[in-house]
Amino acid sequence: MRLSKALIPTLKETPSEAQIASHRLMLRAGLIRQMASGIYAWLPAGLRVLTKIADIVREEQDRIGAQEVLMPTIQSADLWRESGRYEAYGKEMLRITDRHDRELLYGPTNEEMITAIVRDNIKSYRDLPQMPYHIQWKFRDEVRPRFGVLRGREFLMKDGYSFDLDFDGAFRTYKSIMLAYMRTFQRIGITAIPMRADTGAIGGDLSHEFHILAPTGESGVFFDAAFETGDALGATDPDAFYEQMTTTYAATDEKHDESAWAQIPPERKREGRGIEVGQIFYFGTKYSKAMNFAVTGADGQKFYPEMGSYGIGVSRLVGAIIEARHDEAGIIWPQAIAPWRAAILNLRQGDATTDTLCEQLYQALGADALYDDREERAGAKFAEADLMGLPWQLIVGPKGAAKGMVELKHRATGERFELPADEALAKVRA
Amino acid sequence: MRLSKALIPTLKETPSEAQIASHRLMLRAGLIRQMASGIYAWLPAGLRVLTKIADIVREEQDRIGAQEVLMPTIQSADLWRESGRYEAYGKEMLRITDRHDRELLYGPTNEEMITAIVRDNIKSYRDLPQMPYHIQWKFRDEVRPRFGVLRGREFLMKDGYSFDLDFDGAFRTYKSIMLAYMRTFQRIGITAIPMRADTGAIGGDLSHEFHILAPTGESGVFFDAAFETGDALGATDPDAFYEQMTTTYAATDEKHDESAWAQIPPERKREGRGIEVGQIFYFGTKYSKAMNFAVTGADGQKFYPEMGSYGIGVSRLVGAIIEARHDEAGIIWPQAIAPWRAAILNLRQGDATTDTLCEQLYQALGADALYDDREERAGAKFAEADLMGLPWQLIVGPKGAAKGMVELKHRATGERFELPADEALAKVRA
């Protein structure tokens, strides 16, 4: 994309409403704009990140046999009366009355709806297990929305649900979801740690939260250094993986156990701060019973399927990743979800040799490049490229261009290389 | 996908609430389920169609330089007070009050919001033109939702907006959008015809609707046979294309002009019925003036950008395509948007030779195949394959499998071929 034509309104000043780095940087880098309290529009650069994260989430869900569906944002209050949560949910639920005075709501989560769908369409144990998920906008009417997309009201979530024959099946599903989540975070390029959690409003017996490490995280976290190596992608056996994940020490300050912590060798102790980006729940027959979803078993007897639910905050991840990866100058995107792989900085717009080389680089990289073709000072282009945080910067000035040379800057490390254009391209594409 | 594991709940009976073919078939083929009046969940097969349509729409928008954004579903009432449409919009607008008694609404369209975004982020004529679009769920509180996704309340729309320097630029944009729309419909595999339309609640001077031909369409349409050839993809010049589209006769019964119609040679006259699947508007400075969006021109003077808006009903298209393409037995998907390219019908599940050949076909086609591996009678499998309407059926029985032969059926024509498995695969992939 050519920056001169793009709707990427970067800001020099720090917007006064932004209290934390990710909110500030998302506004300054032109990723989002606030439309109402806790409600954001995603501009082209921000949407590209959101879409790339969603695509990775989707691939890892599909890989474990989950099936994508898409439930509507608006739900009937009657569904929530079946589970008993309509009254219980409180003021965070955005309640709506339509023109015929029917009670609706903007879904904050979908346990009730998916249970109704599976109940009405599945009759036999032979049709289980089922693992539907969707990636859809949710609304929670936070009393005080803040921190940009980290605590917004309208937010994008991947929420998945599982229906199993029995506890063993449900527990196996829970483990495979944990593995899928760890693969997802690793592919995105961040370190995430699963931690035992309370079940809260969803209910149930077993839950883990996934925290990514960021100095501005809301929770203090204590963990074994083993989590830093992140070899989740290699695991093939969910049982062994789960065993390893849950026997290696990790806890938020709320659940921190000083006596267990004392057992960890000092060189393996890590403390930091974490941002929650996902949570998984096993809750057995809580919803299948409440909503009367019974299935005929192999023995002809009816039984209630065992359920769980599994969420990743897709829009929240964008903010959380920036909290984990930024410096004074701006964002430092992991390559897998950067809006573009490289920025091309034309330092002398209008100079024929420089323009020609920049155009060649732009043609070569295509959709992977953001070309800063504006008539701006070099200093402004450097600052905006650092702010926007693409993994690579291809810096082209008239002197180098005359010799076919470019300066390649790696945003994360600050390393700079003087290279022939084709070698620079090869490094960017690697 | 293996049908035995898939959440594709087909129905033998015709659901009583469905009055028209597409609604009936979308329920029977397991594409959607109704969650509340006019509000649907998309199950895996339906979502695949919806996603494929959205992807084609997106590619053709990007190709003409439009930029994808994503605006939230919930909007502030104050935005709509700026344009004067908050009171005017009437009962189709779903109005919402949040916990702090602020007035919100579920966006039925986004002229106000996009004008505010561009206004707050663009200051100079040098930043124009801009052509943002998004593909997002909308809500219109229809008094009597009906016909499934054809007149639902929560629906998926691609809505795009343009901001130009002057009328000439805006008119050129309008023409390029018409060309992009015709390419979109042609790639999807349907015949669409642009027809001069009234501007309604959006306002403005110039509008076209796009109708696709279907015997159950809501409007009578009269058109020149030239529209049947559909060579839109070949056009490169929007001016010439627009001239051709708008001087060739086409009108809904509301706008039908008997005297102009009389001039058409009888052999070129076509009459039919149409379903509206898109509409485009040029409305000049209606919103930029009302919302005080002025930009500094090259001469230092402020001016109001010239605007248009452009919609394609993405979820509506799914229903409309089925209205245009079905028979007694079920849906006949165009290849480009079929949920899968081929169904593999195993006529003797459990027979080793048959199972082996089916698995080989399934591995070869991968994500492009739906494998009916259920223990069902052949007759039921034939009926469901016709109902679901994938372009090809690979029918595998024990006798053929022993010789490495399959029967290949083309759903649209009913043609059947006895072929060696590899030749059948080659035909499916072609």
The DSSP string of A239-298 is: HHHHHHHHHS-EEEGGG--HHHHHTS-GGGEEEEEEEEEEEEEEEETHHHHHTT--EE-T
- Contacts B9 to A, Cβ<8 Å: 121-122
Q: What is the rounded distance in angstroms from the CA atom of residue B275 to the CA atom of residue B324?
A: 9
DSSP states of B127-149 as a string?
G--B-EEEEEEEE---SS-BTGG
Contact A69 B120 (CB under 8 A): no
A12: closest CA among A379, A391, A395, A413?
A: A379
Q: What is the rounded distance in angstroms from the CA atom of residue B5 to the CA atom of residue B202?
A: 46
Q: Is A40 on the interface with B (CB under 8 A)?
A: yes
DSSP states of B395-417 as a string?
EE-HHHHHTTEEEEEETTT--EE
Residues 6+ apart with CB under 8 A from A223: A193, A248, A249, A250, A251, A270, A272
Predicted pLDDT of residue A118? 98
Provide the token pair at A342: 């490289």
Q: What is the rounded distance in angstroms from the CA atom of residue B195 to the CA atom of residue B246?
A: 8
What are residue A269's DSSP bridge partners? Answer: A224
Q: How close does chain B come to A34, measured CA to CA in Å? A: 9
Predicted pLDDT of residue B204? 77
Q: What is the rounded distance in angstroms from the CA atom of residue B97 to the CA atom of residue A106?
A: 12
Q: Is A55 on the interface with B (CB under 8 A)?
A: no
Predicted pLDDT of residue A201? 72
Q: Is B216 on the interface with A (CB under 8 A)?
A: no
State CA B176 to chain mean position distance.
Answer: 18
Arithmetic mean of pLDDT, B250-262: 92
Instruction: Show the domains of chain A with their CATH numbers.
Output: 21-330 (3.30.930.10), 340-429 (3.40.50.800)
- Closest partner residue to B99 among A43, A130, A141, by Cβ? A141
Q: How close does chain A come to B429, measured CA to CA in Å? A: 23
- Closest partner residue to A130 among B7, B67, B130, by Cβ? B7
Q: What is the rounded distance in angstroms from the CA atom of residue A265 to the CA atom of residue A284?
A: 37
Residues B305 and B127: beta-carbon distance below 8 Å: no
Tell me the three state secondary structure of residue B179: helix
Measure Cα distances from B300 to A5, A74, B351 in Å: 21, 47, 80
Tell me the three state secondary structure of residue B235: coil
Q: Is B104 on the interface with A (CB under 8 A)?
A: yes
Residue B232 pLDDT level (bands cut at 50, 70, 90): low
- Contacts A50 to B, Cβ<8 Å: 70
DSSP states of B28-60 as a string?
HTTSEEEEETTEEEEPHHHHHHHHHHHHHHHHH
Average pLDDT, rounded, for chain B: 95
Q: Is B10 on the interface with A (CB under 8 A)?
A: no
Classify residue B233 by its DSSP letter.
Answer: G
Residue B230 pLDDT level (bands cut at 50, 70, 90): low
- Contacts A74 to B, Cβ<8 Å: 36, 39, 94, 106, 139, 153-154
Chain A to chain B Cβ contacts (< 8 Å): 148
Residue of chain B nearest A96, judged by CA positions:
B96
Helix extents (H) in B71-122: 77-83, 85-88, 111-121
Most confident of B231-245, B249-263, B405-419: B405-419
Q: What is the rounded distance in angstroms from the CA atom of residue B42 to the CA atom of residue B34?
A: 9
Tell me the three state secondary structure of residue B310: strand
The secondary structure element, H or E, covering residue B383 is: helix B378-388
Classify residue A201 by its DSSP letter.
Answer: G
Q: Is A104 on the interface with B (CB under 8 A)?
A: yes
Residues B77 and B103: beta-carbon distance below 8 Å: yes
Tell me the three state secondary structure of residue A2: strand
Provide the token pair at B44: 């895996």
Classify residue A8 by its DSSP letter.
Answer: -
Predicted pLDDT of residue B228? 86
Phi/psi-derived region of residue B409, left when phi > 0, alpha when psi is between -120 and 50, beta in every other case: beta
- Contacts B5 to A, Cβ<8 Å: 65
- Closest partner residue to B72 among A39, A70, A130, by Cβ? A39
Q: What is the rounded distance in angstroms from the CA atom of residue A426 to the CA atom of residue A185?
A: 27
Measure Cα distances from A356 to A5, A6, A161 in Å: 18, 20, 53
Residues B55 and B48: beta-carbon distance below 8 Å: no
| Cα torsion angle, A353, A355, A359, A361, sign | positive
Tell me the three state secondary structure of residue A347: coil
What are residue B97's DSSP bridge partners? Answer: B103
- Contacts A68 to B, Cβ<8 Å: 44, 47
Tell me the three state secondary structure of residue B5: coil
- The most distant pair of C-alpha atoms in chain A lies apart, rounded to whole Å, by 82
**CB-neighbour burial class of residue B281 (10 A; exposed 0-12, middle 13-18, buried 19+):** buried
Q: What is the pLDDT along chain A (430 residues), one digit of tens a residue?
A: 999 999 999 999 888 889 899 999 999 999 999 999 999 999 999 999 999 999 999 999 999 999 999 999 999 999 999 999 999 999 999 999 999 999 999 999 999 999 999 999 998 999 999 999 999 999 999 999 999 999 999 999 999 999 999 999 999 999 999 999 999 999 999 999 999 888 777 777 799 999 999 988 989 999 999 998 766 677 888 999 999 999 999 999 888 999 999 999 999 999 999 999 999 999 999 999 999 999 999 999 999 999 999 999 999 999 999 999 999 999 999 999 999 999 999 999 999 999 999 999 999 999 999 999 999 999 999 999 999 999 999 999 999 999 999 999 999 999 999 999 999 999 999 9
Residues 6+ apart with CB under 8 A from B151: B38, B142, B145
What are the backbone dihedrals phi and psi of residue B204, each rounded to the nearest 5 degrees, phi first?
105, -175
Position B216 pLDDT exceeds 90: no
- Contacts A5 to B, Cβ<8 Å: 65
Predicted pLDDT of residue A234? 76
Buried (b) or exposed (e) across B126-160, using 16+ Cβ within 10 A?
ebbbbbbbbbbbbbbbbeebebbbbbbbbbbbbbb
Q: How close does chain B come to A257, measured CA to CA in Å? A: 38
Q: Is B130 on the interface with A (CB under 8 A)?
A: yes
Measure Cα distances from A394 to A2, A358, A389, A418 in Å: 14, 9, 13, 10
Give the pairing type, strands B206-213 and B192-196: antiparallel
Mutation choice for B interface testing from A35, A63, A155 by most B CBs within 10 A: A35
Predicted pLDDT of residue B330? 98
Residues 6+ apart with CB under 8 A from B202: B109, B111, B281, B283, B309
B21: closest CA among B359, B278, B328, B239?
A: B328
Predicted pLDDT of residue A232? 66
Predicted pLDDT of residue A200? 76
| Cα torsion angle, A75, A79, A85, A91, sign | positive
Rounded to two decimals, the ipTM of the complex is 0.96
Give the pairing type, strands B206-213 and B219-224: unpaired
Beta strand segments in A165-268, E:
192-196, 206-213, 219-224, 250-252
Contact B67 A44 (CB under 8 A): yes
Q: How many CB atoms lie within 10 A of CB A360?
A: 17
Q: Is B370 on the interface with A (CB under 8 A)?
A: no
Global pTM reads 0.97
- Closest partner residue to A36 among B6, B7, B104, by Cβ? B104
